[in-house]
Amino acid sequence: MDLSLLCVHAHPDDEAIWTGGTLAKYADQGARTAVVTCTWAEGTHRAGELERALDLLGAGEPRLLGYADGRNPDSAPGRPRLQDVPFDEAVGRVVEHIRDVRPDVVLTYDGYGGYGHPDHVLVHRITLAAVEAAGYDQLYPGSGAPWRPRAAYLVTMPRSVVAAQWESVFGTPPDPGQTLPGVPDDQIDAHLDVSAYAELKWAAMHAHESEVGRGASMTLLTSLPERARARLLGNEWYRRVSYGREKAGAWRGEL
C-alpha cells in the first residue's frame, strides 16, 4: 500500500486506545506507520511498555519527545512537563518527526482532546501547528527537508455512540444539555471498521501493564459489557483537516 501514517499522542497507551486499530489495519496492508509520544523518557517502564505495544501494532520503534507527564515527575526526571514547554519548541520537535517520516496522513486527537484531557488538547494544537509548519522551508531550518502531509485526521467519537456507551456504564442516559465528548454524527469524515484487529488492539493496550486496572480509559473499557466494548474496540472515527493533497474520491470508509 502506498500510504504512510504518523500518529502524535500525549502518553504511552494512547496510541493503542485511540488509534490502535487504524495502525494495525494499515500496517497489515503494507503502509508505513509510526508514532510520536510526547511524554515519558527512554529507559522508563512505560517507554518499555510502549515499545511492546508498537511492536504488536507494527508501528516501528518509539519516538519519544521525553517531556514529563504532569501527573508523574518520574516520567522524565529532570525534564520539564509537557504543559510547561514553550509551544514553539514542542512544535519544532514534532516537525522533525514529520520531515523524517514524510507521512501522507498525520493522526492526533480532536480539539477537545477526546475527553478534555489538557495534555491531549495541547498535543492537538501542537500537531496541527507542526503539520502546517513542516511544509515551509523557512520554518525550522536544519530539521529536515520540508514535507506537507495531505491531511490530518483527528480521532474522535460520534455523539450517538458516546451517549449509548454512557448508558452502558452509568445505567442512565446523559442528562439533557450535558457536555459530552465527541462530535455530532454528521461531522465524522472517516469511520474505520477495525473489528478484524480488535483483539490485537486489546493486546496492545494490555502491553501497558502499569495502566491495566489503573488507567482511566482501561478501567472504563474493562467495565463495559462485552458487546459495548467490542463496538468501541472495533470502530475508530475521525474528522479530517485537508492540506490540499487528498486522493481523488476520498470517502468516509478510509483515510
- pLDDT tier, 244 (very low <50, low <70, confident <90, very high otherwise): low
Which tens digit of pLDDT belongs to each residue from 46-85?
999 999 999 999 999 999 999 999 889 899 999 999 999 9
Alpha helices in the chain (DSSP H): 14-28, 45-57, 87-101, 113-116, 118-133, 159-170, 198-206, 216-223, 226-233
Q: Who's near 113: CB < 8 A, 6+ residues apart?
A: 119, 120, 121, 122, 123, 124
- pLDDT tier, 125 (very low <50, low <70, confident <90, very high otherwise): very high
Distance CA 48, CA 207 (A): 9
Mean pLDDT of 199-207: 96
Indicate the domain borders of the chain. 4-242
Q: Tell me the CATH architecture of domain 4-242.
A: 3-Layer(aba) Sandwich (3.40)
Residue corresponding to grid cell 495502566: 211
- pLDDT tier, 246 (very low <50, low <70, confident <90, very high otherwise): low
Mean pLDDT of 229-245: 88
- pLDDT at res. 248: 41
- 81-109 in b/e form (b: 16+ CB < 10 A) is bbeebeeeebbbbbbbbbbbbbbbbbbbb
Out of 132-136, 210-214, 231-235, least confident range: 210-214
pTM, rounded to two decimals = 0.93
- pLDDT at res. 33: 98
